[in-house]
Every structure is written in structure tokens, then in C-alpha cells.
Chains A and B, each alone.
Chain A
Amino acid sequence: MSKFSINNLECIRQNNILFKGLNLTMEDGGLVQINGANGSGKSSLLQICAGLIQITTGEVLWNNININQHRYEFQSNILYIGHTNAIKATLTAEENMTIIHSLTGSKSKINYSTILKKIGMSGMNKIFTYNMSAGQKRRLGLTRLFMTKSKLWFLDEPFNALDKEGKKIIENLIINHCAKGGITIFTTHQKMEIDGYPLQSIHLRNNNV
């Protein structure tokens, strides 16, 4: 039973306040959607939660301990996917996935073809990433979701550059993850049709929540 919470978080970019006094607590199975206009600090909030951005006011807690105290224990339980999909252009799809897999530290062997089939890119193991379209690159970046065993997911705009069918796959994946007791925080500016699953939502207007 793990718990992720933020207390009175504040973020200032070029000394205008993006958000102030933000509190959030999430238990197992929690799903939070952060939406707001561009530049309203959605990605900054996500990066603060993931521990990428160091903050001075407010704190981020994992199991009631500040993440700076047990950084690597926290980081082995999270998965962060940013705007950029962090794959190497000059490597083939499979090589990229082997690196992602070894970074998760799991010993189990993984069959890359099945994962590629699940994401809808079957048979593209040996294709170089620079030959792929933006949607395919995004999907290759999202194959992390299949290979990770961490509980806490931070997804930054997982659905952009994805077609209808790709969106469906990722939505089911998120729902299964949360149903199995995982926690997911994701940002999107489109309205998300996750039906049948309780969804908390944070709307970031320019300077208050």
C-alpha cells in the first residue's frame, strides 16, 4: 500500500507564479489527469513530482518520506515519459528496447516482437528509428509502459502524435495498470474518454488551481 503526496507545491518561472499551494494525495489505483493551456506549468508540475526539478517551497513525499531522502528507492518505483520520447535515432527499434529494458534492471528475458505487436508495430524490430514516422517513434517510446514494473507512472502528453487506434491501446494499458494497484499521473490538453474509471483531475489556470 504505497502513497504519493505533494504538500503546498509552488512553481515560479521567470518570476511569475505558475501555481501555488498545490496539494495532492494518491493511494494505490489512483489516476490523475492534469490539464491546462500550454505554458500553464503542466510539464513543470509533472517534472517536480518525478523529482527532475528541485523545488525550494513545498515537498513531494513517497510513502510519507521526502523523495530527496530516499531518491534511488523512489526512482526505482517510477517511470517518467516526457514530451521527447528518449529513443536514439541511429539505433534500431530492438536495440532501443534492449537499452530501455536493461535500464529497468529486471532480469527476466523479454520477447520484443510480442511487445512491438502489442503496440501495433509488429515486425519492425530491425527498422532504424530515423526511418520511422513521428507516431511510430512515440509508440516506440511508449513501449516502456510494457517493460516497466514500477508502480508510479508520470506520462507527459502520452497521446499526442498518436492515431485513434494508438490512443486506445495506451488508454487500456493505463486502466489495467491502475486497476492492478498502480498510480498514474498524466497531462493532456484533450479531453480523455476514460470511462468507467474514477478520475481525479487538476486544472491549471495561469496562477491558481
Chain B
Amino acid sequence: MYKWIHQFGSPKYFYDISLHLSKWVTIVCIVCFIGGLYGGLVLAPADYQQGDSFRIIYVHVPAAWMSLFIYVILATSGAISLIWHIKITDIIARVSAPIGASFTFLALSTGAIWGKPMWGTYWVWDARLTSELILLFLYLGYIALQSAFDDKRIAARAGAILALIGIINIPIIHYSVEWWSTLHQGPTITKLDKPSIHLTMLIPLILMVIAFKTFYIAIALIKTRSEILKYECNSSWVKKILGN
């Protein structure tokens, strides 16, 4: 297994794979995106209670899911780069942090917009929105720490430690916010949760989640490739690529 990771870790090998991979990933992303949007906005019937405003779910839930998913990727790639000293995972972590932060911001803003028709106010101290807000602070802390170092390698390792501490704290934060919010408002029936929706509403949601995931992979691959070029600028294969 170690041989596979090390081989996968070599920048040149990763560069070639990523070129091949990103073609497919972008195709899947576009297809799912169009399918999900069409299904969500047009086909799915209006919700009996909230009418059409529930369609925001097709953007809010995938974004919220992606924000947590990318933080997990930060932590795991950090752990891998700490244990096996692989350069690729450093780059992947550093590159996916801004994407994760943008998804968290997206989840927050769509959640707030969805709150308006539901509760009449934009920002509501709902448990999920609050833990999403704290997750945004964790992201901003991670990005700020990464940019505070000038040596890229040390920045990646420091970020790895922060991400690992963060990942341990996320369940604690989530549970404490749940505890706190149920205490103050009582169990609000939040429509943010995935309501037990039947098929026609669920399929577009799954399509959108896949679309967001492939979108993240495609963007991360592009950024990783440019970072690899920057890293390996004095090695021969990069000169060959840049030559033509």
C-alpha cells in the first residue's frame, strides 16, 4: 500500500493523471449540474407548506455538505502529509481551503436567504447555521495561518496540525451548538433539515450534490496542477511541458 501512495505522491505522475481525470470530472459536473437544476427548479412540485421557496434547498444543502466534506479532506491530507511527507497532499490541502471557505459562505448566505420567508428574519440563531458560521471561522483561521508562513512546506505542516485539531473539535462544536440552541428556542421545526421528501424532489438534490462534488474536484485539480508547475519549475519534465 505504501508503494502505491508514494508512487501516487510523485508530482509528475499526479500531473499526468490529473490532466486525464479532469476531463471526465468536468463532463460529469456539467451534466449533473444541468440535470439537478432542471429537476429542482422545474420538475419538482412545490412544497405544500413553503411553496417554491424550498427550492433553495438544492443549493443550500449541497454547499453545506461540501463545506464539511472539504474540511475533512483538509484534515486527512494534512495527516497524510505529516506522516508520509508527501508533497502532493500539502498542495491539495492548501488549494482546497479557499474552495471550502467559499462553499461555507455560500451555505451561510443561502441559509440566511431561506430563513427570510420561513422565520421572517435573515439571520436566525439556528443550530446548523451557527455551527456553519464557526466552520467558516475555522476555514478563515486555516487560510490565515497558511498565508502567515513564507516557507510553503512549513505552512502546510502547520496547517495540517490546525486542521487535525479542528476536525476533532467539529463534533464538539456541533453538539454544543445543538445543546445551546435547543435550550434557547426549544426544538424549532427547522425546514433546513432534509424533509422526508419523495422521489421527484430527492433525485435533483442528489444530482446537485454530485455536481458540487465534481465541481470541487475539477477546480482543485486545476489549482493543484498550477501549484505543481510552480513547485517543480526547475525539473526537466516541467521545462518540456512549458517548452511547447
A residues neighboring B (CB under 8 Å): 13-14, 56
| Nearest chain A CB to B79 CB, angstrom units | 16
Interface of chain B, main secondary structure:
loop
Is there an interface contact between A14 and B85, defined as CB atoms closer than 8 Å? no
Is there an interface contact between A56 and B85, defined as CB atoms closer than 8 Å? yes
A13 nearest CB neighbor, chain B only: B151
Hey, what's the 0/1 contact readout for B135-150 against A, CB within 8 Å counting as 1? 0000000000000001
A55 nearest CB neighbor, chain B only: B85
| Nearest chain A CB to B89 CB, angstrom units | 13
B234 nearest CB neighbor, chain A only: A15
Pair count A-B, CB < 8 A:
6
Chain B: residues with Cβ within 8 Å of the partner, total of 5
| Nearest chain B CB to A10 CB, angstrom units | 13
Chain B residue contacts of A13, Cβ below 8 A: 151
| Nearest chain A CB to B6 CB, angstrom units | 13
Interface of chain A, main secondary structure:
loop
Chain A residue contacts of B151, Cβ below 8 A: 13-14
Chain A residue contacts of B153, Cβ below 8 A: 56
Hey, what's the 0/1 contact readout for B69-88 against A, CB within 8 Å counting as 1? 00000000000000001010
A134 to B153, CA, bound (A): 35
Chain B residue contacts of A56, Cβ below 8 A: 85, 87, 153
Hey, what's the 0/1 contact readout for B84-98 against A, CB within 8 Å counting as 1? 010100000000000
| Nearest chain B CB to A139 CB, angstrom units | 33
| Nearest chain B CB to A121 CB, angstrom units | 38
B85 nearest CB neighbor, chain A only: A56
Hey, what's the 0/1 contact readout for B141-168 against A, CB within 8 Å counting as 1? 0000000001101000000000000000
A22 to B224, CA, bound (A): 31
A53 nearest CB neighbor, chain B only: B154
B151 nearest CB neighbor, chain A only: A14
> Which residues of B, 46-86, contact A by the 8 Å Cβ criterion?
85
A13 to B153, CA, bound (A): 11
> What are 6 A-to-B residue pairs whose CB atoms are below 8 Å?
A13-B151, A14-B150, A14-B151, A56-B85, A56-B87, A56-B153
Chain A residue contacts of B87, Cβ below 8 A: 56
| Nearest chain B CB to A115 CB, angstrom units | 37
| Nearest chain B CB to A189 CB, angstrom units | 25
| Nearest chain B CB to A18 CB, angstrom units | 13
A14 to B153, CA, bound (A): 10
A56 to B150, CA, bound (A): 18
Shortest beta-carbon contacts, A-B, top 5 = A56-B85, A14-B150, A14-B151, A56-B153, A13-B151
A56 to B153, CA, bound (A): 10
A56 to B9, CA, bound (A): 13
